[in-house]
Structure 1
């Protein structure tokens, strides 16, 4: 209801340049890059529940800060803190889900989380548009109250249902050792590199596209709100049929196909302003999104070393570099080539496609390793 409209609010109301807006939007992910590893490590060290509660309540304060922000600097700080909260919350939540689920149900559990997110994305943009997200900051206050309620619900849940978190390593390792373990995992690092470029393409949906629609089309903010809700609705609709199909093949193929769908969808954006055709583009974009995000947590969970799941999920937070590169590149291209839409989106598309060679390399290396050590994802089949 709030963050997706931030770029429109900054450019249309505050008259901030697209390039500076791209930097502000990307700041959230930039801070996540520096703090995500530590968030995952802290969840392994202190426990998921404590870290989740802290991040949820801190998040409510951050959105209240968005509400009172009235300068570029304050929006920059608010979105930086937003990124820190997310980078602490995300790896802890995924690791906790892994802790409380059985191997045979883990893919389904991760996909239920993805479904819950998309249900929020269906109603959030419509509510945000109704509350005037593209014209004022009041929806940020509502979002802050929502996080406050969410934190309270976690307190209730953790008190009612006693959750035993797995602690495979009774003696906690140092953060330097944890960093070295992930850094020396070649498959993990190369997969991360491929995903950074793939995520950079996905990031344009909530940064470059709303600016493009607002500038080039009448009622662009309303159109973007509708397409955002359509994106979430399609994601929920196609998610489980796609997962059922893709679980039969190599999981990294799902990431590769997702990259292709997103790249080509972005390429065709400047060719039309017709709402029906734009809906078709969003349909294919969403299929690519689902192919990536319905499988990636499953992949990282399997690659993680025992006792370091929070650390691995945290280290994978470096993929948010794509969420920095995407808005920055989109903002730069819009500011520099605002009259050449084809050049803008073809550049974006090609940049996204560059993630495929890394993912192909990871798949081949992992298959070679598992040919010696055991079948790929045998514990989850």
Structure 2
């Protein structure tokens, strides 16, 4: 019995680099959430910048990240994962320190753009590296571990940031601590490059950027996944945009409590869901996820009781886990090894839906008013459901590819 207990407690046998990325993800996300969620408050209260300009500053980061995500992933295919990750993390550290010293409004625009750039370069490269060093049968587990680390960092970071004074006149220290965390991570990545670079798959001849674009964006399975993910990313954006306005305008405590429910739900359901969804294909999991996303959204508009709102958040979070974790697994399955970074980078284009749907949610609230929750969130639910036919078509095409491959194998 004792031996069995020890076996159950044993950590997954991931590659050391995978564990380095997972632990680094926890530390960097803790540093990220210590400061950047409070940036809008800091710019308004401390720097005296008007709300419209603050909105523009924050939007620059999102647009820069969306536009540059493909380039970041593609560069890692050409130059190597470690070099791109080290360079982006080192620059990211300087950007965070820059927020502590900047005074002019134009500086914050530049820093915000660089923040989005660094994130869009680092994130797809880190995900591609995880897929590189992890066997196919373990990828679901490793991406679940990464997502777990993201959420733990997201829960701890704001608390630490508040303790250190983030968002107020004493925000200098949180920014510098965050910059220090990112700088340490860059140094750790240098160590991993020296120790483990030879264990990555051998590089094939570099592929020209134009050829990369042609290959990635003519992959029909990936394109259907990407189109579906536009609506999934849009659904997620309502958590801190439409929902924050709808519930937060007169029930701030309820909105804060729902965020706690979201974090706890990730921690409770992530691994049971990962085990369950191994029985199904990735695109089946994505279809289930988009339906749950939509149902959770609708619940936010229909219910006022905190218990039913919490239940809606649990349903919403299960959809979030399925879509975001399994989406990473699917890309690892369909991307050629030598273009894995480009595929992960191109997946960032789906977050166009994030900005578009956040804007649409605000329009709906403005047109219909806060008293029309069922109508507003019903519309948002139906928009989320639009992901389903794209995922379903991608699944059909993937099934056809598998049948052709099996037939070819038999003929050979």
TM range (shorter): 0.7 to 0.9
Q: In the aligned structure 2, how far is the partner of 1:211 from the partner of 1:8?
A: 16
Give the aligned partner of residue 378 of structure 1: none
Q: Is the 8 A contact 2:65 2:117 kept in 1?
A: yes
Q: Which protein has greater RCO, CA pairs closer than 8 Å, 6+ apart?
A: 1
Q: RMSD value over aligned CA atoms?
A: 2.9
Match of residue 120, structure 1, among 107, 131, 153: 153
Q: Is the 8 A contact 1:207 1:330 kept in 2?
A: yes
Give the aligned partner of residue 193 of structure 2: 158
Q: Is the 8 A contact 1:23 1:328 kept in 2?
A: no
Structure 1 residues 246, 128: closer, same or farther in 2, change over 3 A?
same
Give the aligned partner of residue 85 of structure 2: 52
Pair 1:293 & 2:324 matched: yes
Q: Is the 8 A contact 1:7 1:210 kept in 2?
A: no
Q: What secondary structure is seen at the aligned counterpart in 2 of 1:64?
A: helix
Pair 1:326 & 2:357 matched: yes
Structure 1 residues 245, 189: closer, same or farther in 2, change over 3 A?
same
Structure 1 position 140, deviation (Å)? 4.2
Q: Is the 8 A contact 1:337 1:344 kept in 2?
A: yes
Give the aligned partner of residue 379 of structure 1: none
Q: In the aligned structure 1, how far is the partner of 2:82 from the partner of 2:380?
A: 39
Pair 1:207 & 2:241 matched: yes
CA deviation profile, 1:2-53 (whole Å, cap 9, x unmatched):
4445566678986625xx7666544433222221111111101111011001
Q: In the aligned structure 2, how far is the partner of 1:336 from the partner of 1:66?
A: 37
Give the aligned partner of residue 133 of structure 2: 100
Task: Please list, as runs of the form range in 1=range in 2, the aligned pairs for 1:17-28 lying within 5 A after superposition.
Answer: 24-28=57-61
Task: Please list, as runs of the form range in 1=range in 2, the aligned pairs for 1:199-348 lying within 5 A after superposition.
Answer: 199-219=233-253, 223-224=255-256, 226-342=257-373, 343-348=375-380
CA radius of gyration, larger in = 2
Structure 1 position 210, deviation (Å)? 3.3
Structure 1 position 70, deviation (Å)? 6.2
Q: What secondary structure is seen at the aligned counterpart in 2 of 1:295?
A: helix
Which deviates the most, 115-124 or 6-15? 6-15
Q: What secondary structure is seen at the aligned counterpart in 2 of 1:205?
A: coil
Q: In the aligned structure 2, how far is the partner of 1:193 from the partner of 1:136?
A: 43
Structure 1 residues 80, 214: closer, same or farther in 2, change over 3 A?
farther
Q: In the aligned structure 2, how far is the partner of 1:70 from the partner of 1:270?
A: 41
Q: What secondary structure is seen at the aligned counterpart in 1 of 2:240?
A: coil
Pair 1:179 & 2:213 matched: yes
Q: In the aligned structure 2, how far is the partner of 1:141 from the partner of 1:36?
A: 26
Which deviates the most, 210-219 or 50-59? 210-219
Structure 1 residues 137, 246: closer, same or farther in 2, change over 3 A?
farther
Which deviates the most, 236-245 or 149-158? 149-158
Q: Is the 8 A contact 2:301 2:378 kept in 1?
A: no
Q: Is the 8 A contact 1:208 1:330 kept in 2?
A: yes
Structure 1 position 141, deviation (Å)? 4.3
Give the aligned partner of residue 182 of structure 2: 147
Structure 1 position 176, deviation (Å)? 0.3
Pair 1:39 & 2:72 matched: yes
Gaps of 5+ in 2: 1-32, 408-412
Match of residue 372, structure 1, among 387, 399, 404: 404
Structure 1 residues 140, 262: closer, same or farther in 2, change over 3 A?
farther
Q: Is the 8 A contact 1:66 1:137 kept in 2?
A: no
Q: Is the 8 A contact 2:73 2:345 kept in 1?
A: yes
Q: Is the 8 A contact 1:22 1:330 kept in 2?
A: no
Pair 1:357 & 2:392 matched: no
Q: In the aligned structure 1, how far is the partner of 2:193 from the partner of 2:110?
A: 31
Q: In the aligned structure 1, how far is the partner of 2:243 from the partner of 2:166?
A: 16
Structure 1 position 356, deviation (Å)? 1.5
Q: In the aligned structure 2, how far is the partner of 1:266 from the partner of 1:135?
A: 33
Q: In the aligned structure 1, how far is the partner of 2:110 from the partner of 2:260?
A: 28
Which deviates the most, 356-365 or 120-129? 120-129
User: How many residues end up aligned between the 2 structures?
Assistant: 369
